Amino acid sequence: MGKSNILMRHSFLALWVAFLFLFLFIVLPLTITFGIGDIEKFLDVLKTPSVLSILKFTLIQAVLSTFLAFAAGLPAAYYYSRHNNSLSSLLYYTTYIPFFLPGISMVVGFLVLLGRYGILNNFLSLVGIGRKQFLYSFSAILLGHTFYNSPITVRIVGNALKNLPAEIIEAGKVDGASKIKLFWSLEMPLIVPAVLSSLILTFSYCFTSFAVVLILGGSQYATLEVAIYMYLKLLARPEVAMGLALIQFLFIFAFGFFGTFFESRISLPIGNRIIYKGGLFSSVALLYLLFEWLPVFSGVFGSFYDFRRSRFFFDKIVNLFSAGRVEILGTSILNTIFRSLRLSLIAAFLATAISFIISWSARNSKFENISVRLTSLISISITPAILALGYIIAYRNLPPQMSMVLLYTVVSFPVVINLFHAEMASFDSAIIEAARIDGARFCQILRYIAIPLLKPAIATGFAITFAISMGEFSGSLILGSDRAPTITVAIYRMLSSKHVPEARLLSSLLVIIVLVTIFIINRLSIRVFRSKI
C-alpha cells in the first residue's frame, strides 16, 4: 500500500506539472488570443481567395516535399541499416541535421551554393554552360525541404530496418528472394509504423516551414507560417493572422493525434541486426552524403570568401565585431550574440527541468502516457508563429525576452520529454526501491540516485534544447525583431539589407556555437557517466 500511495502522489505531481506547463505556456495565451475575436470573422477570413491560395500552396508543397524527402532518404536509410562501416557512421551523424543545425544557417548555405554567383553557377560558367537561376522558385523550396527533412527518414526508417530480426530476412533468402524483393515484399511491410511516423513528422515540418520558404522561395510564395508573420508584422492585419493560426493549429493537432494514435497500437519486431558487405547502394549513399553536407560546408566557406569577386573578405569579420550599434538591428552584433546565448541557456534549463520532473514522476504509473503524450502532442501542434502571436496578444506586458524563453521551451519540449520518457522506461526501479527501504526520501533519491545516473540523458536534453533555441527563427522574428533581435533575426536582417558577407559570417558562427556547445556538453556527460561506473 505504501508503494502504491507513493506512485499515486508522484503521478499527481506529474499531472499537475504537465497541467501548469500546458496552461501557462500554451492554453491560456491561445485561449485569450482566439477568445477575443469572433470565430465567424475568422472563418470569413479563411474564405477569401488569397487565404485559400495560401492554404492550397501550403498543402501542395508539403505533400511534394514529403514525397521527395522520403524518396531521397530511403536508399540512405537502407544502406545505414545494413552496413557497419565509416560510411554508415557518416549517415548516422547526418541525421542530426534537422534536429541540431539551425534552419536559417542551412538556407544561407544554399544561397552560397546555388546563388547567382555561387559555387554551382561558377562551375557551370567555367565549363561553358552559363549561369542558371536556381533560387527564388518553387523548385528551390522543394530542394531545401528535401535537404533538411530527408535525414528524418534515414534516422527513423533506418533504425526500424536495423532492428528487424535477422532470422526473418535469412528465411526469405532461403526461399531464393533477392535483396530488392526482400526489401519490398518482406521488410517494408514490417516497418510500416516507422514509415508512417517519418512521413507524419516530415509532413509536419514541411507544412509549418518558415525559413526555407521565406528566403529560398521569395516573396511570391508563402506557407501558413510565413503568412502569419506577414499579416501580423508587415501588413498589420492581426485578424487574418489569427484566422490562419487557428486553421494551422487545428490541422497540425489533428495530424499529430492521428500519428500518435496509430503508433501506440503497432509495435515493431526487434532482433539481432543483419550486416551486408559492399552493395550497390554505396554510391547512392555517397551521393546522399554529398547532397547533405555540401550546403553545410558551402555556408562555412562562404563566410569568408566572396565568390562573385573571387577574393577573401576577412576585413568584414573585423568590421562586424569592432562596430558598435548596427542600425538595422538597433544594437551591436556582440549584444545580439550574447542575448541569443543567454535566452537559449535559460530555455534549455527550463525545458530540461520540466521534462525531467514530468517523466520521472509519471514513470510506472497509470498517468504516464497521459502526462507525456498529451503535453508532447499539444506542444508539437503549436508552431512558433502561432505561439508568438499568442504571447503578443495575451502577454503583451511581458518583456519580449521572457516571451522568447517561454517560446523556446515549448518548441523544444516534445523532443526532450520523449527522450526522458525513453530513458525512464529502461531505468532500474530496484535501485529506487532499495533506497526507499533504507529510508531515503523523494528529494534524496533524485539528488543522489536519479540525477547522477541520468546525467548523460539530462546533458543530451539540455544540448538539444539549446540547439533548437539558438536556431529558432520565426518566433524570434515576431517577438524580438524590434526590441530584442537574436542571431537568427540578425542573419535575416543582414540578408534583406544586402549585407550578405556579414550574414554568411553570422550564419557560420551560429553553426559553430551550436556544434561546439553540443560537443562539450556531450563530452562532459560521457565523462560523468564513466566516473559513475
226, exposed or middle or buried, with CB in 10 Å at 0-12, 13-18, 19+? buried
Q: Can you read off the three cell numbers belonging to residue 58?
A: 501550403
Distance between CA atoms of 353 and 373, rounded to whole angstroms?
17
Residue 170 C-alpha cell reads as 535469412
- Please compute Rg for the chain using Cα positions: 24
Give first-to-last CA distance, the chain, whole Å: 33
Q: Residue 402: exposed, middle, or buried by beta-carbon count in 10 A (0-12, 13-18, 19+)?
A: middle
Place of cell 493537432: 253
* Distance, CA of 112 to CA of 105 (rounded, Å): 11
Q: Tell me 48's DSSP state.
A: S
Helix axes 138-162, 86-94, angle to 10 degrees: 120
Task: Count CA atoms within 13 Å of residue 276 on its CB side.
Answer: 18
Query: In b/e form, how buried is each residue of 157-187, taking b as 16+ CB within 10 angstroms?
Result: bbbbbbbbeeeebeebeeeebebeebbeebb
Q: How far, CA to CA in Å, does 206 sit from each of 64, 95, 127?
A: 9, 17, 35
Write out the three cell numbers for 321: 565585431
What span, in angstroms and rounded, lies between the C-alpha atoms of 470 and 513? 9
Chain position carrying cell 557497419: 84
Q: Are 391 and 398 in contact (CB under 8 A)?
A: yes
Tell the CATH topology of 1-36+314-533. MetI-like fold (1.10.3720)
* Bridge partners of residue 305, in order along the sequence: 312
DSSP per-residue letters across 331-370: B-HHHHHHHHHHHHHHHHHHHHHHHHHHHHHHTTSTTHHH
Which pLDDT score, from 0 to 100, does residue 63 have? 94
C-beta separation of 114 from 134 below 8 A: yes
pLDDT, one tens digit for every residue, the chain (533 residues):
444 454 455 556 667 777 888 888 888 888 887 776 566 666 677 778 888 888 899 999 999 999 999 999 999 999 998 888 888 888 888 888 877 788 888 888 898 888 888 888 888 888 888 788 888 889 999 999 999 999 999 988 988 888 887 777 777 666 666 777 787 888 888 888 888 888 888 888 899 889 899 888 877 888 888 988 888 888 888 878 888 888 888 888 777 776 666 555 445 555 566 777 766 678 888 999 999 999 888 888 888 777 777 777 766 667 666 667 777 787 888 889 999 999 999 999 999 988 888 877 766 655 556 667 677 777 777 889 889 988 998 898 899 999 999 999 999 888 888 778 777 766 666 776 676 676 767 677 677 777 777 787 888 888 888 988 999 999 999 998 778 899 999 999 988 887 888 888 888 889 888 888 767 765 655 554 444 44
CB-based contact 97:145 (threshold 8 Å):
no
pLDDT attached to residue 426? 63
Please report the pLDDT score of residue 369 as a whole number.
61
3-state secondary structure 95-157: CCHHHHCCHHHHHHHHHHHHCCCCHHHHHHHHCCCCCCCCCCCHHHHHHHHHHHHHHHHHHHH
Cell readout for 529 is 557517466
In which element (H, E) is residue 305 found? strand 305-306
d(CA 472, CA 406): 12
> What is residue 174's predicted lDDT score, i.e. its pLDDT?
67
Count of helices and strands (H, E) across the chain? 29, 2
- For residue 160, give the nearest of 199, 214, 111 by alpha carbon: 199
